[in-house]
Chain A
Amino acid sequence: SPVPQNKWKKRHLSWRVRTFPKDSALLGRDTVRALMYYALKVWSDIAPLNFHEVAGSDADIQIDFTKADHNDGYPFDGPGGTVAHAFFPGERFTAGDTHFDDDEAWTFRSPDSHGMDLFAVAVHEFGHAIGLVHTSAIESIMRPYYQGPVGDPLKYDLPYEDKVRVWQLYGVRDSVSHTHQPGNPSQTAEPPVLLDLPENRSTVLLARDAPDRCTSHFDAVAQIRGEAFFFKGKYFWRLTREKHLVSLRPAQIHRFWRGLPNNLDSVDAVYERPGDHKIVFFKGLKYWVFKDNIVEEGYPRPISDFGLPSEGVDAAFVWLHNDKTYFFKDNHYWRYDDHLRRMDLGYPKDSTLWKGLPPQLDDAMRWSDGSSYFFKGKEYWRVPGSDMEVEAGYPRLIAKDWLLCTEMQSDSPDTEPKSTETRVNVHHHPDHAENGYEVCSCTS
């Protein structure tokens, strides 16, 4: 007896997150919306469906975080048990509506033990919302049981089983090869890097709060892959190995370092870990580990993992001399062995042992000349080689020596390069401009 197929007659479907998780310390509203966006996109990438977010109450797919009995015949049952459901397409006014149990610990990019991966569950539920029923196929996202996180939402690819079933309902989206099966090399290029949600773009383009590199005190400075990164607020500047500023305009931290919380407004310290070359970001009592520019699962974690005090860190850098990681906080410093993943005995010590350095540093980094550089306010200090004493002639101005500013110069984010920047030639490459972003390179 064939099961009647429930499917949408229209192909353009609106969606809206009507209610958000009550305890959204880890999952902010923007993150929840972004996860819904990507979970829907999983389906619209392969089938001729188009989802768009709306603000009103007439969305085809209303998304709610609710708990217990919420008057739809599918009461939730607290943590565990049933975690979500969605209504199949049809004539009911609730068709497509998707409900998540607000009693679950919803997570994103966290280990399985920390809770329920919202993206994984959302992909499953939106499968129902467009008409798919449960299946027993092991490889399917439509298995009824929660199977843990499914990885990066930007890279998630539906199992072939699910693709076939959604193609049976809606057909194949143009540009999608329905003959591509697991094991066959892909006939299409890698999916493009996904844009952020449309509503985030305006903040990128305006960048009214972008700081001035020539007058800023920096939150963090790090040598990463041989290049220098200067972090300030939500932005950073990048210098090549030859100390050439990649752009006069700062880049947004969140657009490059993927996975930091959206509400993170600055970082305290950053360093590239010796050994595995992963990049560690510190903010307050938490830290994140990045593999390249993607955050690892399971972060943030407390800095107590390092044996650091509960006040956070001012500075972190790896001393070339011994490949050990040094943390500074106020008037103290610690030495950490990243290879053994433990703090060396006998620390903290008084930071005055580093002669000539000020207390309460902004950050520090090593550089390819073999020296260590320490930054505070508008100034920096150089400590050559294995010395523990600042070289004569320091401090010097960060802006002048690192960020290609002349003295007395200031540039606002909207200011075009001025004639005072005689050391910088700015070449615009309009052919590289995408989505309204200006792309340029600087040589000195």
Chain B
Amino acid sequence: APSQSTEQLDMGVDWLSKFGYLPPPDPVTGQLQTKEALTKAIKAMQKFGGLKETGVLDQATLGLMKTPRCSLPDVSEVEATAARRKR
């Protein structure tokens, strides 16, 4: 597996949550993200960004995460909720 530093992983999770790819962590239950959800979120982000869908936080993905961008999420709350309900 490609080596990812803890900082990179934390940054990636924060970024994915911030822009709607992962549900925000629950401050009450301290909900953790599953590896499967994280992989799916990364793939969704990669697809949206026009990258190869590897599901891995590779350099291209991390690079895109560092690209200046709009603050608004790519996946709206309504879309995310609907997708979760469907699952």
A1 touches B86 (CB 8 A): yes
Which residues of A in the span 110-134 have a Cβ within 8 Å of any Cβ on B?
Answer: 116, 121, 124-125, 128, 133-134
Separation in Å of the B18 CB from the closest CB of chain A?
Answer: 8
Q: Does A4 contact B (CB under 8 A)?
A: yes
A84 touches B78 (CB 8 A): no
B68 touches A125 (CB 8 A): no
A83 touches B68 (CB 8 A): yes
B74 touches A134 (CB 8 A): yes
Closest A residue to B18 using CB positions: A82
Q: Does A7 contact B (CB under 8 A)?
A: no
A84 touches B71 (CB 8 A): yes
Binds B, one of A138-146, A176-184, A234-242, A431-439: A138-146
Q: Does B47 contact A (CB under 8 A)?
A: yes
Q: Does A3 contact B (CB under 8 A)?
A: yes
Closest A residue to B15 using CB positions: A81
Contacts A82-B71, A144-B69, A146-B69 given; does A133 touch B64 at CB 8 Å? no
Max chain B CB contacts within 10 Å: which of A3, A82, A145? A145
A80 touches B68 (CB 8 A): yes
Q: Does A74 contact B (CB under 8 A)?
A: yes
A4 touches B70 (CB 8 A): no
A46 to B72 Cα, complex, angstroms: 24
A134 to B66 Cα, complex, angstroms: 18
Query: Which listed residue (A3, A86, A128, A136) contacts B50, Cβ 8 A?
Result: A136
Which residues of A in the span 1-59 have a Cβ within 8 Å of any Cβ on B?
Answer: 1, 3-4
A1 touches B67 (CB 8 A): no
* CB neighbours of B70 from chain A (8 A): 82-85, 121, 124-125, 128, 134, 144, 146
B66 touches A145 (CB 8 A): no
A136 touches B71 (CB 8 A): no
A145 touches B19 (CB 8 A): no
B71 touches A76 (CB 8 A): yes
A92 to B7 Cα, complex, angstroms: 37
Separation in Å of the B46 CB from the closest CB of chain A?
Answer: 10
A128 touches B72 (CB 8 A): yes
B67 touches A145 (CB 8 A): yes
* CB neighbours of B82 from chain A (8 A): 1
A86 to B67 Cα, complex, angstroms: 19
A76 to B69 Cα, complex, angstroms: 11
A54 to B59 Cα, complex, angstroms: 46
A3 touches B49 (CB 8 A): no
Q: Which 6 interchain pairs have the tightest Cβ spacing?
A: A1-B82, A85-B71, A82-B71, A146-B68, A136-B48, A74-B71
A-B contact pairs, 6 of them (CB 8 A): A84-B71, A124-B70, A128-B72, A144-B48, A145-B68, A146-B67
The residues of A with any CB-CB pair to B shorter than 8 Å are 1, 3-4, 74, 76, 80-86, 104, 116, 121, 124-125, 128, 133-134, 136, 138, 144-146
Known A84-B70, A104-B68, A145-B49; 5 more pairs at CB < 8 Å: A1-B86, A121-B70, A128-B72, A134-B72, A136-B49
